[in-house]
Amino acid sequence: MSNLAQDGEKLDRNRMSAQAPVSSPSPGDGPTPTHSVPLFYRRGFRRLLQQGLYIAATALLFWYVYDALNLREFGFGFLDDPAAFKVGNQWLTDVDGVTSSRIEMYLVGVWSSLRVVFVAILLSTLVGVAVGVARLSSNWLVARLAMLYVEIFRNTPLLVQVVLVYAIFLVGAPIIQEVVIIGDFAFISNRGLAIPWPVPNDGLWGLPDWFVGVWVALLIAIGAVAMTVRRTRQNRERETGQPQFANRWAFGIFAVGALVTFIVLGLPVSIDRPYVEGTRYLEGMVIRPEFAALTIGLTLYTGAFNAEIVRGSIQALPTGQTEAANAIGLSGYQRLTLVILPQALRQMIPSITNQYLNVNKNSSLAYAVLYDDLFRVAGIIQNKAGHALEMFFVIIVTYMLISLVISALMNFINSRVTRVGV
């Protein structure tokens, strides 16, 4: 009790002194105002104080994070341990999980994600351009169908679409025992779509498998030659006005070159036809329902947005462009490919880049359809090893890297397209 009473007395005394009249010097006879400003109100001191507080707070935050991570034994050593599990949907890799490490298995997951992202970006662009142009068609039915597509897929959640497509594959496609055979070379069942696929082989001269790489290198070289020829012919056509058939020349050079090298190297590639044995597909290329569901879902969803971007970019062009193209007698196809799309492309690319980044991020919906993408593989590792913080760090860095690469490529394309000012 006595403590409290004393405190009370002190408080009273303080109040008394605060209330006591304070003799303040009048502005005229004291020191100059700059000297009379208390330390706390001086600008220099204030700045120092603010900086100091900021530095202290930042240091405290870093110390806290460091301390927390230290206690959690933050580190990435666990990624080198044996994976002890196997992921499905592997293509061009054969990682069994027993001899491989967790990080290798994670990279298999990254590769699975990249395949989905690449194919979905490609297909959604094609769908977007086709539907976007179709929406502006003068044909009533085509325009309305395109609009219906856009409105349906733009206004329903992507997750629902992906799961729905997967359910259609699982329930709708026949079981493997009742596999549907298309023209004796392709098979459809709910185990996936099996199609013929080129594979390297020994060929006539008995060359090792890697020799197919030589042929691929030659094809690239021939392609480069064909493109150079195409450009020179295009330039000549532009200068002289005489038709030079640049595309036909380029295609001819490439086809002949490919055929000749193919024969000279002794047919290093053969087409593998799939077949069904028991309940499994053998050889050929199997597109699994999980991959197909995710890719188709992403394509349909992103395609709807891309279509709107394409339509908007075309409509943003002055109508004079269309009228001018009509006036000089271009056909509808020529008008589109030579006049409209090249100009609309400048508008499209920045918006389409965003959609591509979304495809990358949305590919994590693989979680819903049994597809072993990087997110699921990371989840498996996390379940086995703990280290959730580290795994999420790795996941975020991976998605960011993929996004940054996509952005960089699209910025490069954008700079090419907008190089000529309008």
Partner 1 sequence: MLFAGAALVAGAVIGACTSDEEQQQAQATEQQQQVEQQQQRAQPEAQVSGEPRGNTTQLVQDRGTLKCGVKQTQPLFGFRDDQGTVTGFDIEFCKAIAAAVLKDADAVEYVDASDASTRFELLADGQIDILIRTTTITSSRDMELDVDFAQTTFYTGQGFAVRKDSGINSTSDMANAAICVQTGTTTEQNVADHFTDIGLDYEPTGGLSQDVAAAFFEGRCDVLTADASDLASRIVVRDDADDYKILPQIISKEPLAPGVRDYDSDWKDVVNWVVHGLIRAEEIGITQANVAAMAADPPNTEVARLLGVPFGDGDVATLGFDVVDAQFIQRAIAAVGNYGEIYDREIGSAIERDCTLNALARPLPSEAVDCGPGEGGILYALPYR
- Positive or negative CA dihedral for 251, 255, 261, 262? positive
Tell me which stretch binds partner 1 (CB under 8 A): 17-25, 86-94, 154-162, 228-236.
86-94
Rg of the chain (C-alpha set) = 34
- Closer residue to partner 1, CB minimum distance, 383 or 411: 383
Residue 45-84 contact track with partner 1, rule CB under 8 A, x = bound: -----------------------x--xxx----------x
Angstrom CA distances, 94 to 271, 276, 292, stand at 21, 21, 20
Q: Which of the ranges 11-19, 51-59, 312-320, 379-387 carries the binding residues for partner 1, by CB under 8 A?
A: 379-387
Residue 8 is a binding residue for partner 1 (CB under 8 A):
no
Angle at 361 between CA 96 and CA 402, to 5 degrees: 70
Quick one: tokens of 124?
A: 């959604």
Tokens of 348: 């499209």
Collapsing DSSP to helix, strand or coil, 355 comes out as helix
Q: Which of 83, 133, 4, 45 is nearest to 380 (CA)?
A: 83
Nearer to partner 1 by C-beta: 133 or 378?
378
Give the contact letters, 117-156, x = binds to partner 1 (CB under 8 A), - = no: ----------------------------------------
3-state secondary structure of 303: helix
CB of 318 to partner 1, least distance (A): 52
**DSSP-assigned letters across all residues of 231-272:** HHHHHHHHHH-----HHHHHHHHHHHHHHHHHHHTT--EEEE
- Residue 87 CB, nearest distance to partner 1 (Å)? 7
Residue of the chain from 196, 200, 266, 379 that contacts partner 1 (CB under 8 A): 379
Number of residues that bind partner 1 (CB under 8 A): 40
Give the residues lining the site for partner 1 (CB under 8 A): 1-4, 68, 71-73, 84-88, 96-98, 170-171, 175-177, 190-191, 279-280, 289-290, 367, 369-370, 372, 376, 379-380, 382-386, 388
